[in-house]
Amino acid sequence: MPETTPHPPGNQPWQNGWVPDTSRAPGTRRLWLAGGLAIATIVACTTAIVVNRQAPDDTASPVRSAAPTDDGPGLLSFASPSSGTTPAPKGKTGMSSVMPPAASATATDGDGEPKSTASASPSKSPASHGGSGGSDGSGGSGDSGGSDSSSVWSSVRSVNYPDRYWHLSGGYVRLDPIGSVSARRDATFKVVGGLADGSCYSFATADGGYLRHRNFLLRAERNDGSSLFRQDATFCPRASAYSGAVMLESVNYPGRFLRHQNFRLKLDPYQYGDLYRADSAFRLVDGLA
C-alpha cells in the first residue's frame, strides 16, 4: 500500500507554536458600534429637549404695552444690597421702562457717589395721578429726590388679589384686605420722585417715614440721610404684562422686583413664569384714606 503522510491538523496551535487571541471576545466591534449609536441617540434627544424647553422663554407672553394710566408703581421690597443678583431680562419680557407719574427732572446723589440704576431707564413721565401733595414727607435730612409738586397720595393694589392692598403692619408691608379707618391710613402712601433717582419712585408714609427694602423685605423706616437708605427706598417702574399695572425694580439691585409672597412684600430676582409676573404686578389707585 502506498504510504500517505497525514496533514497536521490546522486547529492544534500547540503544535505550530501560536496561541489563539483571547484578548477580545467575539463580536466586540459590533458592541462598540452599537454603544456609540446609543450614545449619539441619547445626546440628540437631550439636545432636542433642552431646545424645546428654552424656546418658550424666548417667546414669553408678549407684554401689552399700554399707555401709562392712573396706575403707579407696584410692590415694594425689603432688602439690603446683596452682591449676587440676577440681571433683569431683556427683550421680549414686557419690562420696557415706564416713567413714574410725576418724577423730578433731575436725579442727584447727595453724597456724590455713583448711583446704580435700573437696566432700562424710565422715559418721560405721563400725567400724574391727580392732586398734589404738600410736603414730601421726609423723615430726615438728605432727601434728594421727590418734589412737593409731583407727590400724590395713593394706595397700591395687587393685580391677582384685587381686594388686597399694601398695608403697614408691625413695621413691615403686607398685602391685606382693608376695612377699618386706621387700616386705610396705613395703606395710603405719598408717591414722590425717587430719593436716589428722581425718575423713579419713593413711597412716603403718613408719619414721615419711607418704605425701603432691608434683608429683601419691604418695611417702613425714618430717613437717616444715608446714600444706602436713599437707594433702598427707590424703585423704578417697569411695564407689566397686565394692562395698567407696573412692576417695581430696585434701583440698587437691578433685576430684583417687588412681589408679594405669602402676602408679604419682598424683593425677588425676576423669574420667567406667570405666577411671578402676577405677584409682581401692581396698580396705583387713589389713596384709601
Q: Show me where the domains of the chain are located.
A: 29-59, 64-289
Q: Across the chain, where does the E strand assignment appear?
A: 152-158, 164-169, 172-177, 189-193, 201-204, 210-214, 217-221, 235-239, 246-250, 256-261, 264-269, 282-286
3-state secondary structure of 180: coil
Tens of pLDDT, residues 197-217: 999 999 999 999 999 999 999
How far is Cα 123 from Cα 236, in angstroms, rounded to an integer? 11
Q: Give the amino acid at 265.
A: L
| Cα R_g (the chain), whole angstroms | 33
% of the chain beyond a pLDDT of 70: 56
Burial label, 137 (beta-carbon count in 10 A; 0-12, 13-18, 19+):
buried
Q: 37 Cβ partners below 8 Å, 6+ apart?
A: none
User: Which residue is listed with cell 458600534?
Assistant: 33
Residues in the chain with pLDDT values less than 70: 1-27, 53-150
Which residues make Cβ contacts (< 8 Å) with residue 150, sequence separation at least 6? Answer: 101, 102, 103, 104, 128, 132, 192, 193
The pLDDT tens digits for 111-161 are: 333 333 333 333 333 333 333 333 333 333 334 444 443 578 999 999 999
Q: Three-state SS for 16? A: helix
The confidence score (pLDDT) of residue 15 equals: 55
Tell me the three cell numbers of residue 152. Answer: 400724590
User: Which fold would CATH assign to domain 64-289?
Assistant: Trefoil (Acidic Fibroblast Growth Factor, subunit A) (2.80.10)
